[in-house]
Amino acid sequence: MMGQPILVLKQGTQREQGEPALILNIDAGSAIADAVRTTLGPKGMDKMLVDGMGDTIITNDGVTILKELDVEHPAAKMVIEAAKTQDDECGDGTTSTVILTGELLQEAKPLIKENIHPTVIVEGYQLALKKALEVLRGCAPSIAHGMQNEGVRDTLLSVAMTSMTGKSTEENKHDLAELVVDVILAIAKGPSGQEDMVDLEDVAVVKLKGKAVGATNRINGLVIKKDKASKGMRADLSDGLVNIGLLSGSLRVKDHSVNIQQVEELEKLMDRDDQELLKLIDGVTEAGINVLFVQKDISDEAAGMLEENGIIGFRRVTEEEMDMLSRATGATITSKAKDLKGKTGRCLYSEKKHEGALHVYLTAGDEQGTFPIQTILVRGATDHVVDEIERSIHDALSTVGVAYEEGLVNIGGGSSFMEIVLALEKYANEIEGRRSFAVKGFAKAMEAIPRTLAENAGLDKIDTILNLRKAHTEGHKYHGVNVVTGTVEDMRALEVVEPHKLVEMALVGAVETCTMILRIDDVIASKGMDLGQPGQPPQGPQQGPPPGMG
């Protein structure tokens, strides 16, 4: 080269390289953990998030908080992505994922300052992760599949309750946990022991403001909010069971664009339209349909004719609703009215008004048993309450589903993490070279979960950790933090149970994110992008509670 600098970057581009870049990223990533730390565990506090429009969310849910934060720093964004992935996969464990990521990053900092190369730290972390997962698996009692198994039901109830502890569902968690488990067992498919699959798309959640949370209930069937195509429509519901038809096309005669010169021509055309419409309606009546759901439109004339024939019709039903209707009632979706015959489904039909809006109930008749679609009607006094209850129920559904599918659970309250800490401390001594420092750092990071649980419960974190260590050294591998009494005890007795996959994914997600961040030694940001200063908290919407309340 000629010794002349080659400019490849635009003027105004920001660039951070080497150790300063790394430290900046570490601090930005950890700042995200600081934003949610106080919400961890049953004694965690809620946060009030206010967006630019003044809309408020009150939540304890890590990922909900993080989604609302307006974060600029790319490393911080990576941590938020990790939380979102955790939420998508397991529906819970987001705060833990973020806290673990933050701790792993912070533990790497002194090592970097000691000139241990980031790739060595990453290697050490990978070794530690492998070991940690083994330990986690080793202290995961398995639950057998099968709906008849009472033991499974009890374990799933504990999983549901653990997931709902400390949230706005707390007061009603016993009833809600029963409800969630019933729903999951109802939609779980496959022969017991094999391929038990839980698809949360089989659960409809309808939010209804106006009653106490305790009035939240499960419907063995599908409830959808929908207006009839014509207000006067009534069906003969004498024996309760009705035939359901599902039409993906329209129930109307196609519009013509013809040039009409004479009155006779117009009359002929109208006659033809009437005939065509009659044929469509015949298709519906011949199929013996009492209630018809149409994805596209029902013309007013067609609606009138349905009404005359004692048929209830609904128009503009969404594709998702059509799918659910089909799975719930066994009806096949058909594109043409004349093909409806033989494709109908059967169920009980009823209507109810909630908050002035018509809700249609399609439920199982006595002899039909459990419907493959279940609906939860979420109740609460205000929109805020209903929303937060819905989030909490959603999380519980996911966690119970995950636990049921995998058939493995871990005991919570920080117990599994303390097992991991002790095992890794031992393991670090077996490893040669600098990687052992990273394994030690990893072990220390794992302590953050029990420590934060204790801290958020207002307990002395040092005493708690010391007691916990002692218990685990003595072989009590299920001992965790009782956040109510402040003592260290067997979490099985307190029924603090989480899906194994949830904890596993949290660990894997945290290490992956941390590794990605540690491998970056050069941050190049285009003009106008603010990389921020180390330690600067993320700029987000106003956050509560005010400092000091956590």
Positions in the binding site for ligand ADP (CB under 6 A): 39-42, 44, 62, 92-96, 162, 165-166, 412-414, 449, 453, 480-481, 483, 494, 496, 498
- Please, which residue, 92 or 387, has the CB nearer to Mg ion? 92
> 131: exposed, middle or buried (C-beta count within 10 Å: 0-12, 13-18, 19+)?
buried
The one catalytic residue among 64, 85, 95, 513: 95
Alpha carbons within 13 angstroms on the beta-carbon side of residue 426 total 9
User: Cβ 454 to ligand ADP, closest distance in Å?
Assistant: 9
User: Cβ 95 to Mg ion, closest distance in Å?
Assistant: 7
The one catalytic residue among 395, 399, 452, 515: 395
- Please, which residue, 246 or 457, has the CB nearer to ligand ADP? 457
Q: Which residues bind Mg ion (CB under 5 A)?
A: 92
- Please, which residue, 42 or 118, has the CB nearer to ligand ADP? 42
At CA 207, angle to CA 205 and CA 213, rounded to 5?
A: 105
Task: Evaluate whether 229 touches 315 at the Cβ level (below 8 Å).
Answer: yes
Q: SS3 string of 332-348?
A: CEECCHHHCCCCCEEEE
User: Cβ 166 to Mg ion, closest distance in Å?
Assistant: 8
Residue 270, CA distances (Å) to 171, 254, 302, 436 in order: 63, 12, 14, 86
User: Cβ 499 to Mg ion, closest distance in Å?
Assistant: 11
Please confirm, yes or no, whether 87 is among the known catalytic residues: no
168, amino acid identity: S
- Please, which residue, 413 or 540, has the CB nearer to ligand ADP? 413
The one catalytic residue among 39, 94, 334, 344: 94
- Please, which residue, 31 or 448, has the CB nearer to ligand ADP? 448
Nearest to 212 by CA among 380, 377, 376, 378: 380
**Does residue 218 sit in helix, strand or coil?**
strand
Please confirm, yes or no, whether 395 is among the known catalytic residues: yes
- Residues with Cβ within 8 Å of 54's Cβ and at least 6 positions away in sequence, in order, are none
- Please, which residue, 92 or 489, has the CB nearer to Mg ion? 92
User: Cβ 199 to ligand ADP, closest distance in Å?
Assistant: 22
The one catalytic residue among 27, 46, 61, 182: 61
User: What does 38 bind: Mg ion, ligand ADP, none (CB cut-off 5 to 8 Å by kind)?
Assistant: none
Please confirm, yes or no, whether 332 is among the known catalytic residues: no
User: What does 499 bind: Mg ion, ligand ADP, none (CB cut-off 5 to 8 Å by kind)?
Assistant: none
**Does residue 45 sit in helix, strand or coil?**
coil
What b-and-e string marks burial along 57-92, b requiring 16 or more CB atoms within 10 Å of the CB? bebbbbbbbbbbbebebbbbbbbbebbebbbebbbb
User: Cβ 340 to ligand ADP, closest distance in Å?
Assistant: 47
User: Cβ 110 to ligand ADP, closest distance in Å?
Assistant: 26
Task: Evaluate whether 224 touches 360 at the Cβ level (below 8 Å).
Answer: yes
Task: Evaluate whether 488 touches 467 at the Cβ level (below 8 Å).
Answer: yes
Task: Evaluate whether 74 touches 523 at the Cβ level (below 8 Å).
Answer: yes
145, amino acid identity: H
Tell whether the torsion through CA atoms of 23, 26, 29 and 34 is positive or negative: negative
- Please, which residue, 283 or 480, has the CB nearer to ligand ADP? 480
User: What does 42 bind: Mg ion, ligand ADP, none (CB cut-off 5 to 8 Å by kind)?
Assistant: ligand ADP
What does DSSP say about strands 409-411 and 291-294: parallel, antiparallel, or unpaired? unpaired
Residue 352, CA distances (Å) to 91, 349, 376 in order: 31, 10, 15
Task: Evaluate whether 184 touches 370 at the Cβ level (below 8 Å).
Answer: no
- Please, which residue, 92 or 202, has the CB nearer to Mg ion? 92
User: What does 44 bind: ligand ADP, Mg ion, none (CB cut-off 5 to 8 Å by kind)?
Assistant: ligand ADP
User: Cβ 472 to ligand ADP, closest distance in Å?
Assistant: 15
Residue 445: φ, ψ to 5°: -60, -35
Minimal CB distance residue for Mg ion: 92
Active centre residues (catalytic): 61, 94-95, 395
